[in-house]
Amino acid sequence: MSARVGRYESAGRELFDDGWGSIEEVVEEGGPRTHVQPEHPRKIISRNNSPDIGFDRSLNPYQGCEHGCIYCYARPSHAYNGLGAGLDFETRIFSKPSAPALLRKELSARNYRPDTLVIGGNTDPYQPVERMLGITRGVLEVLNEFGHPTGLITKGRGVLRDIDLLSSMAERNLARVAVSVTTLDPALSRRLEPRAASPAARLKVIEKLSDAGVPVVVMLAPVIPAVNDAEIESILTAVADAGARSAGYVLLRLPLEVAPLFDEWLEEHLPLRREHVLELVRQCRGGGVYQAQFGTRMRGTGAYADLIAQRFALAKRRNGFGPIEKLSREHFAVPPKAGDQMNLFGSP
């Protein structure tokens, strides 16, 4: 994996332990050393107005991701911290330990109106460091307490740790989990997503969540021409058998630094197929490798992109997938604070 510096940097930089406990280290067996640094934002809910996605607010407990998925569209965001989109993104993780407290404050605001809040829209909330820090668990506890509709996006097995909260919320139509499945081939998965859960493990996650009453949507993301697009039908059949209720897909996105990183990956892992893959990507992206425009960035354009869309739609129908159901907002309520009950008796 390339150790390129961030696009705004003229020189390389490296985090170091200043002796004040600002950096924690997590070492996964057989993997790179991970440095975790806490950050303390003023707000925790991010808003968007994109017509391409089905939610307008999200929360990310972490920035950067240990899973190391070569195709991750979030990689360029590390440049805002003076870090690179390659190894830095995978090994220099920023955690947000104040996320539960900030969320409680924002949900308690008088002008707040509930709608589905998605956890993990940028980076995985159940990457390995969550086992140690438990920030995602804390966020879910707050959302459960407020009766707030919640969506999760993950490819990590760690979501099963919180199946108690998720199943309780699902009983009130407050929770849904989107599991990302890119391939059923463990060898390809190991190369594309070196520290993510195996395909078999993800199918087991879908099965266990479904058995617990938690609605599961599968995201085939990304669909990569001439790499995993031949698996569209087999993936949808496998996840339907595991209990998934609906499915969606995203065509490979290669913004900014992701494009040269993916090119390096092709040269290393699929050198004889490299030019063919890139040519198909260009056919789907108006002659380039990426389109940033709303309406096209998720699905692409052209004959090959249309073929993928048709195959996916047909496979969905064959497997009986339904639409993604809207979560409930009717249970939302700000929990009373100590002393609030006295107002019932007219105390000043």
Tell me: the pLDDT tens digits for 58-110?
A: 999 999 999 999 999 999 999 989 999 999 999 999 999 999 999 999 999 99
Output the domain CATH number for residue 100: 3.80.30.30
CA distance 327 to 183: 28
CA 115 to chain centroid, in Å, comes to 19
The backbone torsions φ and ψ at residue 175, rounded to the nearest 5 degrees and listed phi first, read: -140, 145
Evaluate whether residue 120 is within a structural domain. Answer: yes
Average pLDDT of the chain? Answer: 91
Of 184, 115, 122, 182, nearest in space to 150 by CA: 115
Q: Are 326 and 282 in contact (CB under 8 A)?
A: no
Average pLDDT over residues 204-208: 98
Average pLDDT over residues 204-225: 98
The backbone torsions φ and ψ at residue 250, rounded to the nearest 5 degrees and listed phi first, read: -135, 130
* Residue 145 domain boundaries: 24-320
What is the reported pLDDT for 29? 52
Instruction: Report yes or no on whether pTM surpasses 0.85.
Output: yes
Evaluate whether residue 211 is within a structural domain. Answer: yes
Crossing angle for the helix pair 135-146 and 99-107, nearest 10 degrees?
Answer: 20
What is the reported pLDDT for 2? 58
Question: Taking 90 as the threshold, does the pLDDT of residue 313 lie above it?
Answer: yes
The enclosing H or E element of 11 equals none
Token pair in block for residue 202: 């993800």
Evaluate whether residue 347 is within a structural domain. Answer: no
Confidence of residue 339 (pLDDT cuts 50, 70, 90): low
Evaluate whether residue 7 is within a structural domain. Answer: no
How many domains does the chain divide into?
1
CA 130, 132, 137, 139 torsion-angle sign: negative
30 φ/ψ sector (left φ>0, alpha ψ -120 to 50, else beta):
left
What is the reported pLDDT for 54? 87
Evaluate whether residue 325 is within a structural domain. Answer: no
- List the strands of the sheet with 46-47, edge to edge: 46-47, 57-59, 117-119, 150-154, 175-180, 216-223, 246-251
**Contacts of 115 by beta carbon, 8 Å cutoff, 6+ apart:** 55, 56, 57, 149, 329
Evaluate whether residue 72 is within a structural domain. Answer: yes
Tell me how far apart the terminal alpha carbons of the chain are, to the nearest angstrom: 63
